[in-house]
A and B are shown apart, each in its own frame.
Chain A
């Protein structure tokens, strides 16, 4: 079989294979290229940089002389002077107010104000911890009418502070969000003493918990009517805190606070006063200096009248404000932000250079952008030095930096700076202060959540000098630039946009679209390419209902962690999917995971840069993230949108990636809330004032049409392959389950019948025919005598002859047989030149004298009753052949043990089952019995195939003989113990089986052959060839799913296959009386044994294709291979 006389098949086949392979490879390459090639995304011109749209001008800051704020201290001074008793005798400290321990005011306090919501604050702390002595995080606040204590500690910071010997002094504010709640303090101060005692105990507990050294009271907007009560409260607190070895500091804002707090009384108990020497003009004021020198010095003068100067800590500003004078909104920004804004606004330095100098020593400049006129005031290292100098001149006990993360980094260099005019050291220090080093800190320009990333950075320059007053002054010559994010899309005040990520999803997207349609809302959907490709109809629906579509990568991957090539692939594939479904491309992109509009880390910028610069996308982030994906409940989702509405105007929701019922429930309520509060829910196009057709342009036909076509076809083909695969998996699983059930059921019936009707001795003795036993041997000298002895020892009651055909052995086989023949006269030796097994068997069969011929392999041992069991079924005259029960006699290695199990459950169980329906496919040569007349009718053993036993069996079926399985006909055969030997054996079987199947292909689905044609033969095709060949693919997907977590559903199929294997193994072991634990080996067997079988099958298929070209058939037949079980 399969011999190709002309030798044409393989070359022809090879040519076809090569041709198709080449076409497929070209298609694949083209497809990949179509994805990698940058799709024609045309960024709307209006989205290109913001840069050109900032225009700047230096504001002449000459308003200081008549700046009323700067003179406020004078008014208070007059008031205090009037109030002060005439005689200047110091008040005698009341005993109860005396501090418990002597106050230690030595050393300069250096207090850093820290916030946990800004990464820059953390970075600054890490870099400058050595320059600080105290740290003030915002951990405590007193809120609500009744004065509830809210505590948000940070164990990491506590550890950090301990490691760097920083004393932690948490702020205790009365802030709820950004609203001061004076009632909280007022009511506590006026409340019962029990309530106060409880609060104080609570506070001390919390301070101890976070290992604080004390607390800083930062209470604002208090009613000065209750000054006495505040004094009582603070004194009570101080006493308890001191007892607990904790300090209490009080923050004092110059101005009204001097009336709110009775500092004269408190100076005796409070450890330190913390003067807030900043916010001369705050976010709620019109633009002006943050802390001008005259203002600061004036207040220092007044503060000096309370307590000793050493008791005071002066907090210096280290930040900037950006006032939008059109919208009357101000932003607190960092020094670096102020530099970036100045730089990108392109301040014209030639006309009026920006200076930090007398009289106010604050930097002030203005710029304009489309949303309004801005004024920026900033404090830098220059102003810091000057203010520090003023503080030290007033002999204050320390300084505070407000706040870490917003400062000019060079303030840290001024802390220990001693400047004396005209010394080289001073000159060097001034020069150093003039260098503005760029860093990796990300700065922000503009407002809105549509961003443009610029990661270039440049150093700046300022010329620094000492002025007549001994203060530093500076002129900014070149502004440093930092990695910058330009923000756009803040829109009008009441404009807000809804966006949905991760879809489409067949369950949730339609529900969300229905709501949006009903409420007349247009949104933007950022699609995951994989999902879009799976649900193209939903993509079309999104677009047809007037919504926008954005790109959210192909597999929802975290771009910050992958190579630039993969980033491009992710983005382009999604673009191609969207193009092929909708005919539109999209210019909108949102990165998965990091959609926060203020990325704080450089590595988050890199993929954004690729999307923006190389692929030309508009980056759409979010400002309102209710984290609906975490399913916090619809109420929480709505509540979070409400809380964050003031911080942004692009809402991020999700329409896929899990159970989105809460999002669906929250959406109408979010729409209600936004609309009631007066918001207009607009599309991104409206927000950015860019028409939808520009955001989602139709690709031009002459450009990239081919790539689009190829990409589209590629996705469809891939889709078809994936769908076929899953369909196949379902089909295969169903068939496997079905077959397992049938086999188990039939085998069970056979087993039961065999048990019910044991062979009766009486029956045996009467009328069993004489038999001939035929053994073909080739180089079996080592085993042949044992084999012969096992046959001789049979308890067969009737006449028996034993014929051994020595197929030209080169060892002592013949001698061994002769020796046995001498002992047992029934043994006959026939010798022939080496001709192969089929010829040997034919030769042996021809020499037999009896009607029933038992065949066994030379390496196979019979049990005493084997021959009897094999002959017994021949009482039925229609039975042509009987299969024995071959078992593995050498289960020493893992490979052999696998085979042992396979013999039991694979071969014998099948035969048990098949015998019930008379559809046994192979009567194994290793142990079988055949009716002589049937053998003759079949034409004896054929040489057509490598599996002469299968061939013979199928031929006998054609002759309408019956085949039986005799479970008692046990023979112990020797299985290959190495993989190599096994592979060789199985290759022979597999190829032989395929030859037989091909030879007898007319029997398949032929109604004449009943169960054989419809059940067992197709079973071989499907289960033993097709499925075994494809199993490695399933295994590969399984591995892939383990590594990448995708396609986890494959596990179910795998579990079913494994379960079926185990099930069959268990019942087989049970029927054969083997220990059930043997069945467990079927699990590792699947992983090791099956790939081998698969390889063998593939090799056989290839060989079959090649045909006689290799001419191996004859060659193989002279080799000895353990025969078929």
Chain B
């Protein structure tokens, strides 16, 4: 069966591989039933060391092709990750790019710097944006772009918190807040510029944290929504427990349920996705295999039918100074045999789609 499938695919794949032109003029369809499965696969410190070997090793581990492969493009590099995205496209996956406006050495908790949202709004980085857009258009393959993700958190330099946060804009009514307003302005600036370069193959993903930090009204998802014309997908980062020092285990359901409702309310039409999801193997805290089983069961339950994609975060890292210094957070799918088995079993359900569905009509 598998072989027959392979043979059928052979010629379109080879054309994708041999000709750059064949990558153009495809449009990613939103599945009516099921969701795309994808992963971020330990692409290194800058999250951009994408190799086919890593992708294939992961696919062999979970026994499923990845419809989406996530990686990053940090603004500090001032490059377009063309080689990475071409690799992913030729592998017949859709790239999800975390396009993150920060500078070396890329450390969380820093204040806005060279690539602050304000400077973006002021047009200081238009040349870079244009270059990026031109390169993306040239590639032509559908690219999901998550610009300035988790902006409702507190750790990245582009967090709303760092641009006036909940300070009310004048005497706006209903009230608008400095932080989210600055973010939306930057977002629209970027989308406008990219569209002006005709990079219509970019799919814009507004990518939030499941729960805002600080979890205050001004910091909620709706305040960051730049409008239906500027966003194609709405996404979330959903993590269970990640650190050995966590006080308790975070089950999947409450992490998903309220944020899902929140996003559904932000826009009733846009498809939803988990841009990142995962949990660390912490046997002292909880049963990760069960957590994964719960995740797959909930993702395919009709209650969350607007979820159309889920990207698993596959990484093991050693924690820096702090309570967990020297200890590891192991979010790899194969951190334990039981977790791996749970993931394999869950993702094997055909509800989780391994190849992107494309319409070959030019988009828009």
Contacts and interface: CB of A to CB of B under 8 A. Distances in A.
B53 A642 contact: yes
A225 B52 contact: no
A256 B326 contact: yes
20 contacts: A144-B334, A145-B334, A145-B335, A145-B336, A145-B337, A182-B328, A183-B332, A183-B336, A187-B336, A187-B337, A190-B283, A224-B327, A225-B327, A494-B83, A642-B53, A668-B14, A671-B17, A672-B13, A676-B52, A678-B83
Interface string A691-723: 000000000000000000000000000000000
B244 interface: yes
Interface string B186-230: 000000000000000000000000000000000000000000000
Interface string A140-155: 0000111000000000
Interface in B73-102: 83, 86-87, 90-91
Nearest to B340: A145
Interface in B295-344: 316, 326-328, 330, 332, 334-337, 340
Interface in B1-43: 13-14, 17-18
Given A642-B53, A675-B90, A678-B86, A519 B326 contact: no
Given A223-B328, A259-B326, A183 B334 contact: yes
A675 B17 contact: yes
Contacts of A182: 316, 328
B95 to A, nearest CB: 13
A224 B244 CA distance: 11
A955 B125 CA distance: 116
Contacts of B83: 494, 678
A470 interface: no
A672 B56 CA distance: 13
B334 A675 contact: no
A1005 interface: no
Contacts of B51: 677
Given A672-B13, A676-B52, A678-B87, A519 B337 contact: no
Interface string B45-84: 0000001110010000000000000000000000000010
Contacts of A224: 326-327
Contacts of B87: 676-678
Chain A contact residues: helix, strand, loop or mixed: helix
A225 B282 CA distance: 10
Nearest to B88: A676
Nearest to B283: A190
Contacts of B335: 145, 183
The 3 closest A-B pairs by CB, nearest first: A677-B52, A223-B328, A145-B334
Contacts, number: 57
A520 interface: yes
A1014 interface: no
Contact of A520 (B18, B56, B327, B334): B18
A670 to B, nearest CB: 12
Residue of A186, A520, A671 with highest tally of chain B CB at under 10 A: A186
A831 to B, nearest CB: 99
A412 interface: no
Contacts of A671: 17
A519 B16 CA distance: 12
Nearest to B328: A223
Contact of A676 (B17, B330, B332): B17
Contact of A223 (B17, B86, B327): B327
B244 A225 contact: yes
Interface string A227-269: 0000000000000000000000000000010010000000000
Interface string B261-293: 000000000000000000000010000000000
Given A677-B51, A677-B52, 5 more contacts: A145-B335, A145-B337, A182-B328, A519-B14, A677-B53
B340 A672 contact: no
Contacts of A183: 330, 332, 334-336
By size class, the interface of chain B is 20 to 34
Interface string B235-251: 00000000010000000
By size class, the interface of chain A is 20 to 34
B91 A676 contact: yes
A334 to B, nearest CB: 28
Contacts of A676: 17, 52, 87, 90-91
A93 B340 CA distance: 39
Nearest to B329: A223
B328 to A, nearest CB: 4
A708 to B, nearest CB: 39
A182 B14 CA distance: 37
Interface in A657-676: 668, 671-673, 675-676
Contacts of A677: 51-53, 87
Interface string A105-146: 000000000000000000000000000000000000000111
A187 B13 CA distance: 39
A673 B83 CA distance: 15
Contact of A519 (B18, B86, B90, B316): B18
Contacts of A259: 326
Residue of A256, A520, A678 with highest tally of chain B CB at under 10 A: A678
A187 B283 CA distance: 10
Contact of A225 (B14, B56, B328, B340): B328
A228 to B, nearest CB: 11
A890 to B, nearest CB: 75
Contacts of A494: 83
A144 B61 CA distance: 10
A146 B283 CA distance: 15
Contacts of B90: 675-676
A919 to B, nearest CB: 66
Nearest to A676: B90
Interface in A503-555: 519-520
A223 B282 CA distance: 11
A677 B52 CA distance: 5
B205 to A, nearest CB: 24
Nearest to B52: A677
Nearest to B89: A676
B334 to A, nearest CB: 4
A677 B49 CA distance: 12
Nearest to B51: A677
A740 B310 CA distance: 81
A642 B59 CA distance: 15
B336 A672 contact: no
A678 B52 contact: yes
A672 B53 contact: no
Nearest to A190: B283
Nearest to A519: B18
A259 B318 CA distance: 14
A1114 B334 CA distance: 104
B48 to A, nearest CB: 13
A737 B335 CA distance: 75
A1064 B51 CA distance: 73
Nearest to B17: A675
B246 to A, nearest CB: 12
A222 to B, nearest CB: 9
Contacts of A668: 14
B317 to A, nearest CB: 11
Contacts of B316: 182
Contacts of A256: 326
Contacts of B56: 642
Interface string A792-836: 000000000000000000000000000000000000000000000
Contacts of A675: 17-18, 90
A519 B90 CA distance: 15
A787 B345 CA distance: 104
Nearest to B10: A668
Given A183-B335, A677-B53, A672 B17 contact: yes
A13 B13 CA distance: 74
A519 B11 CA distance: 11
A519 B56 CA distance: 23
B8 to A, nearest CB: 15
A183 B330 CA distance: 9
